[in-house]
Structures are given as structure tokens and as C-alpha cells.
């Protein structure tokens, strides 16, 4: 006798529910998608205990015909597609006919709905798989779906739920992601009876971002827009000095659908290369628009990912769109006392904060960082420590042997001499290697450097990349290498120090040869650049300040630290109570 048998429907449904409903946040997401597919002008969401106790979503959309209510909660029943070909051109957020059936398997689900123009509404309840009948009820036009006590009767799943505060943060994030994609729909969110978000309908995406994360953040975002044929991307990205420790503020959307995509985020990281410190993450809100047949949304059980027909095209579009915009944008860092932001930013409710959303990121020397009181600068003519030079009419003064202070068009700029020189050297080295015009200085007396066996192995492994960067390094036996040449741009920097710096980087470097050479150039620039503490002659200060006009990305050093900070005249006037 055979051992295979078809599973009862209840078991099939329970298994399907496992894929769709992982935690309260999945319920929030599915109910919001249904509400949005109904064409509403407003959606109200209320949660208790992070959504474990209750998720309630009201929308004033088209409503459900009472006859359809039993089907709405049945598996594989949908109004959103009819034939297989429809899957090729999905324009709704739902399409599987799975969500409500799945939720009804693992919670008590109550749906009340009335179509606009209908005299009465109707209600249906499904209690952990037990479906009740359809009963009339009085209700506002639209649909209210309530999900009570998720997983209360599924102990195995319930055990995997985290504390209500954690579930709340996931649920709130699901709300935020969806709300970001639909600024034209007014949306509210309540948690344990307290209003957390009240988002008016607004066609402008920046306004919705501002309503969720604060206008101070939204106002500083850089708008980007690009297209390649019928593929378009538009959105907002953060300034490098509004970087974050995590990718929490990285949001991608296509056709009103939030999605995750590592390749696109990699393109974003590439665009920010040299503008952010290692490990820091940019803020990104990007929406893609492309023909429905160029994208497959039916690739992930919880609809969190999509597949593009031509992912490399999307990658290139993102990279070039951001890079082009960065070239046209002044990315210099600004000093802004915290009060300015506090005044500009709308209060984000404490509940939203506990939801894990950072109302405004802290930054390298920017937002949220108090300006230290200016150190009493020594009068240049008194102790001779500071040098004053003319920079095309603008004055440059070296202070503390590490900063150059310059008058700029709209304020005062403080330049980090090492960071700027490092960028200047790096850009020159890069350009020279790219154009095959790198000037190499043969050392009259080759320098010997003692290295560890692991470092010697790196020298042997990467001899070619080192040579391309002007460093001829040869094993000499007995734990020693000879440095026969270095790039002329490295100036007086000791060959041994250059080699050690570069090897340190290669040990942790990426694999492609272009990246290796780049890493070597970073190392050379870092070691050869003037240091904090090096006194500069007037001519050197002068040359450095001028050089920054000649290299790209001079606002950041190659590691992503800002090379200068500007204190605007407007801010100075404000601080001195002149305005
Ligand atoms: N808020 C709502 N307003 C109007 N109709 C709704 C609403 N929620 C659900 N429905 C109807 O119930 C049906 C079933 O919803 P369900 O979420 O289970 O499946 P779906 O949205 O079609 O697909 P998916 O499983 O991908 O979400 C929908 O196709 C829709 O016709
Ligand atoms: Mg749905």
C-alpha cells in the first residue's frame, strides 16, 4: 500500500500561512497592500502590543461585495488576476489570493465592509481556520479588517514572536515603508491607543519623507532623477555628512511596492565611494518605474523581493544617476549647531522613537554635533605659528599646524590639511594610472624593508598591481624585500612606510585587480600626504588651497572623511544675534 496521501485543506492552509505570516509586521503589510489596492483616499491603522494583540486596518476604498466575503478569506481566491498571462503584467500589490486566507488560519480575523452606494455592509469572521457566515452590519463605506491574537492557537509560532516592543518596531517599519510608497493616501498609525503617525495626503514625496522622518532631514536630501529608455529612477539621497551606522533609511520602491535588492544597494555604495567612511551607510529613497513585463514581482513568498529582467541596466542607471548628481552638488560639510535642527524638525513622537526610527541621523561633524567653542587663535603676527596667504583674493591661515582657515563665498571654511592633501594626491595618482602617465621615481639606492612572511606573500601575489601603481617591490630573501621605485607623486615619503601602509590595505582588500590598484593608491596617498602637525610654508598652504579646485570630490578624503567644514555667514549672523 502506498504511503503518499493528499494533505487535508486545513493542513495545506496552515503551511501556506507559514510563508505569508511570519509576525505581526507581515499582517500589517498584507492588510495595507489590500487597502491600497482598493483605491482609498485614507487608511487608518491601529495596533495593540506591537500587533500581537490586534492589527486593525480601515480604508475608504471600494469595499467588498457581501457575496464575495467568503471568497475573500478562501485560499487561491483573488479579484486581481484571472489568467496566467496576467502574472506578466501585475499592477496591483496583491495577486496570489493568499493573504487573508493565511491570516485567518493563524488568528481571529474579522472583516467588515460596505461598498460605496450600498445600503448596508456585511461582516465575516474566521477564527483560526473556522469560518463563520456572512452577517449584515452597519459600517462606514470601505473596509475594516481586524486581526486578533496572532498565533494564540499556534504555540509553535507564538514561541517565535519577540517582545511586543520588538514586534512593534517591525510593524511600524512595515507601515513606514508602505506609507513612503504612497504619499497621495492619507495615513495614520496608532499604537496602544496613542497616535504615532498622522500623514496627510500629499503628492510630493519629499513632504511624506519629512512627515515620517522630520523636515530637517527631508530638506537636506539631494533630489536625483535618471532614465535609460523606459527605465526610470527618481528619488532622494542623503548628503555624505548625514551618513548612518545602519541601512535603516535605505528604501527602494517599484510600482508602489517596497522591495529589497542587494545589487541596487551595492550600486548606491559605489556611487558614495570615497564620500563615506567604511561601514557608514547613506540615506536613500529611490523609486523605479519600468514596464510591467520588465520586472517579475512573483519571486518571493512574502513579496519582499522582485526580479528585474536586466539587473545590470538598473545597476548602471543607479550608479550614473547618483554620480552625475553628486558632480553637480556642493557636498562640502556644514557646521550646524544642534538648535538649528531642533527648531526645523517636527517633533517625532516618543512612540515612533521606540519604533526604532531615527528621526535624524547624527553625522560626521554635522547634524547633532555641537560646535566646540572656537579655540583662541594665536594672532599670526605674534608668534609666527600661523601663516597667512592670499588665495585668489580669498585669505588662508594655517592653525595648530593642522587646519587651514579660509574665507569662502558664504562663510568660513576650516580645511583639514591632511584630508585634503590625501584627496589631491589620490586623484592625481588615479588620473596618472588611468592615462598611463604615472611618473615613477627609481630609487638610486633601493630601500630594503623587513616584512612578515604573510606580508611577503602579499608582495608576491600582488606584484603586478603594485607595479601598476609605481611601486616595484621585489623579494630579497630572508624576510626582506627591496623597494626599487615609487611614484614621483609620493614625494619624500619613506619607501618602507609606503610599502607597509599598502600591504596593510591589501590584506583586507577586495579581489578585482582594479580595486587592488585603487586600494594601493589610497595607501600611497594616505602615507605621502602632509600630516596633521606638519607646519606648512605660505607657498604650500597656497598651493593646497588652490589644488582643491582642480580635483574632483575634493570635499571628502578618499576614506570618506570631510576635507573641510563650512560655518555659513548666515549661521554666524544668527549666532551673534545679528538677524
Ligand atoms: N481592503 C479591501 N478592500 C477591498 N477588497 C479587498 C480588501 N481586502 C481584500 N479584498 C479582496 O479580497 C481578496 C483577497 O485578498 P487577499 O489579500 O487574500 O488576496 P490578494 O490581495 O488578491 O492577493 P495576495 O495574497 O497577493 O495579497 C482580494 O483579491 C480583494 O478582492
Ligand atoms: Mg492581498
Ligand 1 atom, smallest distance to 77 CA: 14
- DSSP characters over 234-259: EEEE--GGG-BSSSTTEEEEETTEEE
Q: What is the mean pLDDT of the chain?
A: 86
Task: Give the confidence band of 320 by pLDDT, cuts at 50, 70, 90.
Answer: very high
Our answer on whether the CB atom of 64 is closer than 6 Å to any ligand 1 atom is yes
State the ligand closest to the CA atom of 302. Answer: 1
Give the pLDDT score at 363: 31
Mutate-to-test residue for ligand 1 from 34, 38, 116, highest number of ligand atoms within 8 A of CB: 34
Ligand 1 atom, smallest distance to 61 CA: 3
Question: Beta 307-308 vs 295-296: how paired, if at all?
Answer: antiparallel
Task: Output the CA 86–ligand 1 centroid distance in Å.
Answer: 16
State the ligand closest to the CA atom of 72. Answer: 1
Which cell numbers in the block locate residue 219?
530638506
Give the pLDDT score at 184: 95
Which cell numbers in the block locate residue 330?
556642493
Task: Output the CA 72–ligand 1 centroid distance in Å.
Answer: 6
Which cell numbers in the block locate residue 78?
483573488
What number of other Cβ atoms are within 10 A of residue 464's Cβ?
11
Report whether 156 contacts 15 (CB < 8 A).
no
State the ligand closest to the CA atom of 71. Answer: 1
pLDDT score of 348 more than 50: no
Around 536, how many Cα atoms within 13 Å sit in the side-chain half-sphere? 28
Task: Give the confidence band of 335 by pLDDT, cuts at 50, 70, 90.
Answer: confident
Which cell numbers in the block locate residue 477?
630573501
pLDDT score of 254 more than 70: yes
Q: What percent of the chain has pLDDT over 70?
A: 89
Ligand 1 atom, smallest distance to 94 CA: 26
Our answer on whether the CB atom of 58 is closer than 6 Å to any ligand 1 atom is no
The closest residue, in CA terms, to atom 19 on ligand 1 is: 97
The closest residue, in CA terms, to atom 17 on ligand 1 is: 99
Which cell numbers in the block locate residue 447?
630601500
Give the pLDDT score at 84: 84
Our answer on whether the CB atom of 102 is closer than 6 Å to any ligand 1 atom is no
Return the minimum-mean-pLDDT range out of 365-374, 481-490, 508-517: 365-374
Task: Output the CA 82–ligand 2 centroid distance in Å.
Answer: 15
Residue range 467-501, pLDDT digits in tens: 999 999 998 888 899 999 999 999 988 888 999 99
Mutate-to-test residue for ligand 1 from 94, 116, 302, highest number of ligand atoms within 8 A of CB: 94
For the residues 96-115, what does the mean pLDDT come to? 95
What number of other Cβ atoms are within 10 A of residue 429's Cβ?
25
Residue range 17-76, pLDDT digits in tens: 888 899 999 999 999 999 999 999 999 999 999 999 999 999 999 999 999 999 999 988
What is the number of H-type helices and E-type strands within the chain?
20, 25
pLDDT score of 384 more than 50: no
Our answer on whether the CB atom of 78 is closer than 6 Å to any ligand 1 atom is yes
Task: Give the confidence band of 251 by pLDDT, cuts at 50, 70, 90.
Answer: very high
Tell which wins on pLDDT, 117 or 319. 319
Where are the alpha helices (H) located in 94-200, listed in sequence order? 99-106, 155-158, 164-181
**What does the longest C-alpha to C-alpha distance in the chain come to?**
104
Ligand 1 atom, smallest distance to 102 CA: 18
Our answer on whether the CB atom of 98 is closer than 6 Å to any ligand 1 atom is yes
What number of other Cβ atoms are within 10 A of residue 320's Cβ?
15
Ligand 1 atom, smallest distance to 34 CA: 8
Please tell me the pTM assigned to this model. Answer: 0.78
Q: What percent of the chain has pLDDT over 90?
A: 63
Our answer on whether the CB atom of 149 is closer than 6 Å to any ligand 1 atom is no
Ligand 1 atom, smallest distance to 142 CA: 3
Residue range 286-300, pLDDT digits in tens: 999 999 889 988 888
Task: Give the confidence band of 215 by pLDDT, cuts at 50, 70, 90.
Answer: very high
Ligand 1 atom, smallest distance to 98 CA: 25
Task: Output the CA 123–ligand 1 centroid distance in Å.
Answer: 15
State the ligand closest to the CA atom of 36. Answer: 1
N- to C-terminal Cα distance for the chain?
92
Mutate-to-test residue for ligand 1 from 72, 75, 147, 298, highest number of ligand atoms within 8 A of CB: 72
Ligand 1 atom, smallest distance to 78 CA: 29
Give the pLDDT score at 510: 61
Task: Output the CA 213–ligand 2 centroid distance in Å.
Answer: 27
Task: Output the CA 8–ligand 2 centroid distance in Å.
Answer: 24
Which cell numbers in the block locate residue 513?
585587480
For the residues 548-560, what does the mean pLDDT come to? 90
Give the pLDDT score at 337: 57
Our answer on whether the CB atom of 61 is closer than 6 Å to any ligand 1 atom is yes
Residue range 61-99, pLDDT digits in tens: 999 999 999 999 998 899 998 888 888 888 899 988 999
Our answer on whether the CB atom of 62 is closer than 6 Å to any ligand 1 atom is yes
Which cell numbers in the block locate residue 184?
497621495
- Which distant-in-sequence residues (6+ apart) come within 8 Å of 381 by Cβ? none
Ligand 1 atom, smallest distance to 143 CA: 1
pLDDT score of 347 more than 70: no
Ligand 1 atom, smallest distance to 101 CA: 18
Which cell numbers in the block locate residue 472?
616595484
Per this entry, what is the length of the chain? 579
Task: Output the CA 449–ligand 1 centroid distance in Å.
Answer: 70
Our answer on whether the CB atom of 300 is closer than 6 Å to any ligand 1 atom is no
Our answer on whether the CB atom of 95 is closer than 6 Å to any ligand 1 atom is yes
Our answer on whether the CB atom of 38 is closer than 6 Å to any ligand 1 atom is yes
Give the pLDDT score at 477: 84
Our answer on whether the CB atom of 35 is closer than 6 Å to any ligand 1 atom is yes
Which cell numbers in the block locate residue 232?
526610470
State the ligand closest to the CA atom of 102. Answer: 1
Nearest to 310 by CA among 234, 253, 230: 230
State the helix-helix crossing angle for 164-181 and 24-37, rounded to 10 degrees.
20
Task: Output the CA 34–ligand 1 centroid distance in Å.
Answer: 5
Tell which wins on pLDDT, 237 or 355. 237
Where are the alpha helices (H) located in 328-416, listed in sequence order? 338-344, 350-354, 380-383
Report whether 276 contacts 331 (CB < 8 A).
no
Task: Output the CA 195–ligand 2 centroid distance in Å.
Answer: 25
Task: Give the confidence band of 364 by pLDDT, cuts at 50, 70, 90.
Answer: very low
Q: How far apart are CA 412 and CA 395, in angstroms?
A: 10
Task: Give the confidence band of 355 by pLDDT, cuts at 50, 70, 90.
Answer: very low
Task: Give the confidence band of 209 by pLDDT, cuts at 50, 70, 90.
Answer: very high
Give the pLDDT score at 13: 78
Amino acid at each position: 500500500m502506498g504511503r503518499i496521501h493528499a494533505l487535508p485543506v486545513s493542513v495545506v492552509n496552515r503551511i501556506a500561512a507559514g510563508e505569508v505570516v511570519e509576525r505581526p509586521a507581515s499582517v500589517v503589510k498584507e492588510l495595507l497592500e489590500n487597502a491600497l489596492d482598493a483605491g482609498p483616499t485614507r487608511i487608518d491603522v491601529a495596533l495593540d502590543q506591537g500587533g500581537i494583540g490586534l492589527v486593525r486596518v480601515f480604508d475608504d476604498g471600494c469595499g467588498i461585495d457581501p457575496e464575495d466575503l467568503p471568497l475573500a478569506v478562501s485560499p487561491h481566491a483573488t479579484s486581481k488576476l484571472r489568467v496566467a498571462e496576467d502574472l506578466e503584467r501585475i499592477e496591483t500589490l496583491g495577486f496570489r489570493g493568499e493573504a487573508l486566507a493565511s491570516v485567518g488560519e493563524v488568528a481571529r480575523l474579522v472583516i467588515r465592509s460596505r461598498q460605496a452606494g450600498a445600503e448596508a455592509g456585511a461582516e465575516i469572521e474566521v477564527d483560526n481556520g473556522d469560518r463563520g457566515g456572512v452577517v449584515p452590519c452597519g459600517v462606514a463605506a470601505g473596509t475594516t479588517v481586524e486581526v486578533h491574537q496572532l498565533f494564540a492557537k499556534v504555540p509553535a509560532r507564538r514561541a517565535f514572536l519577540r517582545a511586543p516592543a520588538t514586534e512593534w518596531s517591525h510593524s511600524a517599519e512595515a507601515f513606514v515603508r508602505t506609507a513612503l510608497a504612497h504619499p497621495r493616501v492619507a495615513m495614520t498609525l496608532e499604537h496602544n491607543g496613542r497616535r504615532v503617525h498622522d500623514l496627510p495626503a500629499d503628492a510630493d514625496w519629499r513632504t511624506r519623507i519629512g512627515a515620517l522622518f522630520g523636515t530637517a532631514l527631508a530638506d537636506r536630501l539631494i533630489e536625483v532623477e535618471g532614465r535609460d529608455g523606459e527605465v526610470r529612477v527618481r528619488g532622494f539621497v542623503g548628503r555624505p555628512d548625514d551618513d548612518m551606522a545602519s541601512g535603516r533609511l535605505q528604501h527602494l520602491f517599484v510600482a508602489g511596492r517596497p522591495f529589497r535588492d542587494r545589487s541596487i544597494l551595492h550600486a548606491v555604495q559605489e556611487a558614495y565611494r570615497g564620500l563615506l567612511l567604511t561601514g557608514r551607510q547613506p540615506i536613500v529613497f529611490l523609486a523605479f518605474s519600468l514596464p510591467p513585463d520588465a520586472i517579475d514581482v512573483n519571486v518571493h513568498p512574502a513579496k519582499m523581493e522582485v526580479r528585474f529582467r536586466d539587473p545590470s541596466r538598473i545597476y548602471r542607471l543607479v550608479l550614473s544617476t547618483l554620480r552625475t548628481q553628486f558632480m553637480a552638488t556642493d557636498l562640502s560639510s556644514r557646521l550646524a549647531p544642534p538648535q538649528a535642527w531642533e527648531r526645523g524638525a517636527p517633533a517625532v513622537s516618543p512612540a515612533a522613537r521606540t519604533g526604532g526610527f531615527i528621526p535624524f541621523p547624527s553625522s560626521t561633524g554635522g547634524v547633532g554635533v555641537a560646535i566646540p567653542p572656537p579655540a583662541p587663535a594665536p594672532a599670526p603676527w605674534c608668534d609666527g605659528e600661523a601663516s597667512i596667504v592670499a588665495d585668489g583674493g580669498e585669505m588662508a591661515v594655517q592653525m595648530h599646524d593642522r587646519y587651514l582657515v579660509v574665507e569662502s563665498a558664504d562663510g568660513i571654511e576650516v580645511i583639514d590639511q591632511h584630508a585634503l592633501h590625501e584627496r589631491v594626491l589620490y586623484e592625481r595618482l588615479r588620473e596618472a594610472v588611468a592615462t598611463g602617465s604615472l611618473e615613477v621615481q627609481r630609487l638610486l639606492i633601493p630601500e630594503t624593508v623587513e616584512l612578515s612572511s604573510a606580508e611577503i606573500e602579499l608582495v608576491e601575489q600582488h606584484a603586478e598591481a603594485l607595479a601598476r601603481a609605481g611601486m616595484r617591490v621585489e623579494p630579497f630573501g630572508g624576510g626582506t624585500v627591496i623597494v626599487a621605485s615609487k611614484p614621483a607623486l609620493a614625494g619624500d615619503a619613506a619607501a618602507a612606510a609606503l610599502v607597509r601602509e599598502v600591504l596593510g590595505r591589501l590584506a583586507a582588500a577586495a579581489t578585482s585587480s582594479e580595486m587592488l590598484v585603487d586600494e594601493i593608491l589610497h595607501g600611497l596617498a594616505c602615507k605621502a600626504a602632509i600630516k596633521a602637525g606638519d607646519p606648512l610654508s605660505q607657498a604650500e598652504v597656497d598651493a593646497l588651497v588652490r589644488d582643491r579646485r582642480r580635483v574632483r570630490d575634493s570635499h571628502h578624503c578618499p576614506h570618506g572623511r570631510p576635507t573641510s567644514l563650512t560655518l555659513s555667514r548666515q549661521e554666524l549672523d544668527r549666532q551673534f544675534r545679528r538677524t
